[in-house]
Amino acid sequence: MTADIILSTRDLTIEFKGFVAVDGVSLDIRRGTIHALIGPNGAGKTTCFNLLTKFLTPTKGTITFKGNDITALRPATVARLGLVRSFQISAVFPHLTALENVRVALQRKRGGSFDFWRSERVLRALNDEALNLLDAVGLTDFAALPAVELSYGRKRALEIATTLALDPEMLLLDEPMAGMGHEDVERIAALIRRVSANRTILMVEHNLSVVASLSDHITVLARGKVLAEGNYSTVSSNPAVIEAYIGAGHA
C-alpha cells in the first residue's frame, strides 16, 4: 500500500443468512481527496459504509486505515484513530442549542466522562473552540438557537460541526444531501468542499450532480460488487454503469 492511501479494503464481504450484501469489495481511498461511493438502490453502499466504520463485522476481508489493520476494532476505537462518520439521519440533541451540541462533542474528544456536573465556567472554556466550529459551518448566527428550531439543512451542518469537533483525519458522510431542497444542497456542498481542504472525505450520495461537482474519484457499486471506478466523466459514460442505473429504474 502506498503512503498516499489512507483507507483501503481487500475482498471485503458480508453475508446475511445466505445473502451476500457486500461481495469482495476492494477500495483504495487517497489522502486529501473526496471519494464518492454511488450505485442504484440495493447496491450495498450503506452496508459497505457500516463495515468501514465498524458498525458491522465483515464475514471476510480486511480494512486498513493509515497502514493499520482495523478489521477487528470497535467503532469508538476507530473514531479515536481519526476515522469519523456522520449518519443519514441528523443526529443532534434537539433541545440543546447549536453551541451546546458542539460543546458536548468537544467533551467527547477528550475521552473519559462528560462534564455535566462541572461549573458553567469550566464549560465556557470550550466555547471559543465551539464557536470557531460553528463559524466553519456557517452557523455563527444560530449558536443560541435550540437544534430543534434549525432548518433541516442547518441541522445537517450542525451535525458536521459536531463531527469536526472530534478532529477527524477522514470524514465519512452518509447521504449528506438526503431530504434537502436546492438551497440547502448548495450550502452543504459548499461546506463539504471547505472542510475537505485538510481532510479526506468518503461519501455515499444519491445526488449525482453533487457527486459530479465534488468528487475527485468515484466507486460505483452494483449488487454488492465494484462495477466501475474513476472520475465522473469515466464512470458516467461506462455502459455497465448506465445499464445498472437504468435497469434499477434510475435515470
pLDDT at 88: 46
Amino acid (1-letter code) at residue 81: L
Do 106 and 126 meet the contact criterion of CB atoms below 8 Å apart? yes
Give yes or no for a contact between 6 and 200, defined as CB atoms under 8 angstroms apart. Answer: yes
Which of 71-80, 157-166, 179-188, 241-250 is least confident?
241-250
Q: For the chain, list the domains and their CATH numbers.
A: 1-82+171-251 (3.40.50.300), 92-167 (no CATH)
pLDDT score, position 174: 87
- Place 207 in a pLDDT band, splitting at 50, 70 and 90: confident
DSSP 39: -
* Mean pLDDT of the residues in the chain: 87
* Separation of alpha carbons 64 and 174, rounded Å: 20
pLDDT tens column, 100-115 = 999 888 886 655 455 5
User: What residues does 13 pair with on adjacent strands?
Assistant: 60
Note the pTM of the prediction, 2 decimals.
0.85
pLDDT at 4: 92
Residue-wise pLDDT tens digits, 172-191:
998 888 877 888 888 888 88
Strand 225-230 and strand 217-222: the pairing is: antiparallel
120 pLDDT exceeds 50?
A: yes
User: Which residue spans within 31-119 are E strands per DSSP?
Assistant: 34-38, 60-65, 68-69, 83-85
**Pairwise CA distance, residues 218 & 230, whole Å:** 5
For residue 146, the model assigns a pLDDT of 95
What backbone torsions phi and psi does residue 248 show, to the nearest 5 degrees?
-95, 5
How high is the pLDDT of residue 251?
39
